């Protein structure tokens, strides 16, 4: 029987990790590299177990597990290993006349002990990716995986315990009770992935200790489809980004489509056709699609689908099988804006299409709602692309594809407004777990009396000119011309 995690365990954990962090072990490049290499071994040697755990928790197809979880993690680790020395090196900063003579730099210093709380939908990626950032930046870290993906959570705990330095990297499994105990501790940063509702609980707990947070939340990510598009590719990419990414249970999954009244029937036909090509005549039987994570989420989605004035808007799919936690890829047309489906994040295989008179009206629809984690546009119109990218606020924007920005470590990944705060991936992960410390080195040379009392009008004028880097004024004051 696994031991219950109690309040004393949480405080002991903090004491042990604080001792390790204070000893300086996690700050060394060697430690960081060794831990990152261990994470790589987990990916390289345990992929079949990871794929099996994901199949157990979500019936996730092997391709999605191997590529969107393990391969992406391998990429992150290799990038960190390759770039670590560059990331860790202090950045030279320019100095000014005010501080002359001096040199300055920005030192990336580890924050201390950080807590990573992750979600169930991509349990390996969303757990290990932030941990890569935390370790790269030289922190001690506690990971709390989601209890809703139990096989993945216990495999993560087992593997991380087996390979990583237990004095500075730990996994605590559990649900609300365990997370609440962890949240009572004083962390140096909390990195949370999950819903906005729980995000508020995390931020409230963090505020008590003035702990900074990264909140990787979700939201309703819209897809705008222009009639001037490559319809076949558009349909395929929307399907791959929706049902082909954990069956719509992904934070950057298309939540709803906006298109014109005239174009909607063409888009629906193309999507129906491609859905059949992807998943066959009976998509419920396809092995190439994850199932719904559990019966609570199944019921939540069913409720959305069965709502009055929604159920009669289904134009494709709609079949459900509670026993096997399956819902067919379902497309709906013009569901009411005040329906559950349009008020809450869907996070599942339902995809409503809203029609607008002019495509530009879709911009107003998006702007009238909370800022999403991602916003997508399909078009061949260059002006429209630019207008979308420049005027729509979202965590990230992709033109003519879905979700692929997540795979580019040169781009920050994170939300804005209701979809979250802070970002990570690549160097952004390192920065998310570092304090950018300002360091200024001065010598005893050039000790000018102008900032020392007794003050005078001349000192005042000279100091003002120096602070404003006004060389001409400096000379004027020195020559007594001002």
Ligand X SMILES: NC(=O)c1ccc[n+]([C@@H]2O[C@H](COP(=O)([O-])OP(=O)(O)OC[C@H]3O[C@@H](n4cnc5c(N)ncnc54)[C@H](O)[C@@H]3O)[C@@H](O)[C@H]2O)c1
Q: How far is the CB of 305 from ligand X (least distance, A)?
A: 18
Query: Which residues have C-beta within 8 Å of that of residue 346, sequence separation ≥ 6?
Result: 220, 248, 253, 255, 256, 301, 304, 352
Enumerate the β-bridge partners of residue 397.
Answer: 375
**Strand 91-93 relative to strand 140-144: parallel, antiparallel, unpaired?**
unpaired
Q: Is 216 one of the annotated active-site residues of the chain?
A: yes
Among 147, 165, 276, 401, binds ligand X (CB under 6 A): 147
Q: How far is the CB of 267 from ligand X (least distance, A)?
A: 24
Query: If we measure between CA atoms, which residue out of 262, 272, 269, 273 comes closest to residue 226?
Result: 262
**Strand 113-117 relative to strand 140-144: parallel, antiparallel, unpaired?**
parallel
Query: If we measure between CA atoms, which residue out of 2, 147, 121, 141 comes closest to residue 64?
Result: 121
Q: Cβ closer to ligand X: 249 or 362?
A: 249
Window 318-357: contact mask with ligand X (x via CB under 6 A): ---------------------------x-x----------
Q: Cβ closer to ligand X: 117 or 325?
A: 117
Stretch near ligand X under the rule CB under 6 A, chosen from 118-126, 228-236, 273-281, 357-365: 118-126
Interaction between residue 180 and ligand X (CB under 6 A): yes
| Triad 143, 149, 150: Cα angle to 5° | 85
Q: Is 251 one of the annotated active-site residues of the chain?
A: yes
Give the integer Cα–Cα distance in Å for 78 and 426: 10
Q: Are 253 and 221 in contact (CB under 8 A)?
A: yes
Q: Cβ closer to ligand X: 79 or 394?
A: 394
Window 204-243: contact mask with ligand X (x via CB under 6 A): ------------xxx-------------------------
Q: How far is the CB of 153 from ligand X (least distance, A)?
A: 9
Interaction between residue 195 and ligand X (CB under 6 A): yes
CA distances from 122 to 11, 63, 70 (A): 29, 13, 10
Q: Cβ closer to ligand X: 119 or 164?
A: 119
Among 65, 121, 246, 429, binds ligand X (CB under 6 A): 121
Among 52, 71, 104, 198, binds ligand X (CB under 6 A): 198
Task: List Cβ<8 Å contacts ≥24 apart for 307-313.
Answer: 307/339, 307/340, 307/341, 309/335, 309/336, 309/339, 310/335, 310/336, 310/339, 310/340, 310/341, 313/352
Residue list 403-422, contact with ligand X (CB under 6 A): 415, 420
Q: How far is the CB of 370 from ligand X (least distance, A)?
A: 12
Q: How far is the CB of 214 from ligand X (least distance, A)?
A: 10
Among 20, 65, 179, 434, binds ligand X (CB under 6 A): 179
**Strand 169-171 relative to strand 374-378: parallel, antiparallel, unpaired?**
unpaired
Interaction between residue 201 and ligand X (CB under 6 A): yes
Stretch near ligand X under the rule CB under 6 A, chosen from 1-9, 141-149, 269-277, 431-439: 141-149
Interaction between residue 120 and ligand X (CB under 6 A): yes
Q: Are 15 and 22 in contact (CB under 8 A)?
A: no
Structure letter (DSSP) for residue 66:
I
Interaction between residue 244 and ligand X (CB under 6 A): no
Give the integer Cα–Cα distance in Å for 90 and 17: 26
Q: For residue 368, which phi and psi values (nearest 5 degrees)?
A: -80, -5
Tell me how far the alpha carbon of residue 127 is from its chain's centroid.
Answer: 11
Neighbours of 104 (CB within 10 A): 17
Q: How far is the CB of 136 from ligand X (least distance, A)?
A: 18
Residue list 29-88, contact with ligand X (CB under 6 A): none
State the catalytic residue, choosing from 43, 245, 251, 316. 251
Give the integer Cα–Cα distance in Å for 168 and 482: 61
CA dihedral 385, 388, 390, 395 (to 10 degrees): -120
State the catalytic residue, choosing from 64, 69, 216, 345. 216
Among 54, 80, 117, 137, binds ligand X (CB under 6 A): 117
Q: What is the CA radius of gyration of the chain?
A: 26
Interaction between residue 428 and ligand X (CB under 6 A): no
Indicate which residues carry an active-site annotation. 216, 251
Binding stretches for ligand X (CB under 6 A): 117-121, 126, 144, 146-148, 175-176, 179-180, 193-195, 198, 201, 216-218, 251, 345, 347, 373, 415, 420
């Amino acid at each position: 029987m696994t031991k219950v995690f109690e309040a004393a365990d949480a405080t002991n954990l903090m004491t042990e990790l604080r001792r390790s962090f204070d000893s300086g072990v996690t700050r060394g490049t060697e430690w960081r590299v060794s831990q990152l290499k261990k994470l790589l071994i987990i990916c390289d040697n345990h992929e079949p177990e990871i794929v099996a755990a994901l199949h157990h928790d979500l019936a996730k197809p092997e391709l999605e597990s191997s590529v969107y979880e393990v391969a992406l993690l391998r990429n992150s680790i290799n990038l960190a290993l390759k770039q670590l020395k560059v990331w860790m090196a202090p950045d030279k900063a320019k100095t000014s006349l005010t501080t002359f003579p001096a040199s300055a730099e920005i030192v990336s210093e580890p924050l201390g002990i950080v807590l990573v709380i992750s979600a169930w939908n991509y349990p390996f990626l969303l757990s290990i990716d932030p941990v890569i950032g935390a370790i790269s930046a030289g922190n001690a870290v506690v990971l709390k995986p989601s209890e809703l993906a139990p096989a993945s959570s216990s495999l993560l705990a087992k593997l991380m315990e087996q390979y990583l330095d237990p004095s500075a990297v730990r996994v605590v499994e559990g649900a609300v009770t365990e997370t609440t105990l962890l949240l009572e501790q004083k962390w140096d940063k909390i990195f949370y992935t999950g819903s906005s509702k729980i995000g508020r609980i995390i931020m409230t707990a963090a505020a008590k200790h003035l702990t900074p947070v990264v909140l990787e939340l979700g939201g309703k990510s819209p897809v705008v489809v222009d009639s001037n598009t490559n319809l076949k590719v558009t349909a395929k990419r929307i399907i791959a980004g929706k049902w082909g990414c954990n069956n719509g249970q992904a934070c950057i999954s298309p939540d709803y489509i906006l298109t014109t009244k005239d174009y909607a029937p063409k888009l629906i036909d193309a999507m129906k056709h491609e859905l059949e090509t992807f998943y066959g005549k009976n998509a419920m039987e396809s092995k190439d699609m994850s199932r719904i994570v559990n019966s609570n989420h199944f019921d939540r989605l069913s409720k959305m689908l069965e709502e009055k004035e929604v159920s009669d808007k289904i134009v494709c799919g709609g079949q459900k099988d509670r026993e096997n936690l399956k819902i067919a890829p379902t497309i709906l047309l013009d569901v009411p804006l005040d329906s559950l489906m349009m008020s809450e994040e869907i996070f599942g295989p339902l995809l409503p299409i809203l029609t607008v008179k002019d495509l530009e009206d879709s911009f107003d629809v998006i702007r009238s709602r909370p800022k999403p984690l991602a916003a997508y546009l399909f078009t061949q119109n260059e002006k429209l692309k630019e207008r979308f990218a420049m005027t729509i606020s979202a965590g990230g924007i992709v033109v003519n594809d879905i979700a692929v920005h997540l795979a580019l470590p040169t781009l920050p990944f994170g939300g804005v407004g209701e979809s979250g705060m802070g970002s990570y991936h690549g160097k952004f992960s390192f920065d998310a777990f570092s304090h950018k410390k300002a360091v200024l080195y001065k010598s005893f040379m050039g000790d000018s009396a102008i900032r020392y009392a007794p003050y005078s009008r001349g000192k005042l004028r000279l100091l003002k000119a120096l602070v404003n880097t006004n060389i001409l004024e400096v000379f004027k004051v020195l020559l007594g011309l001002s």
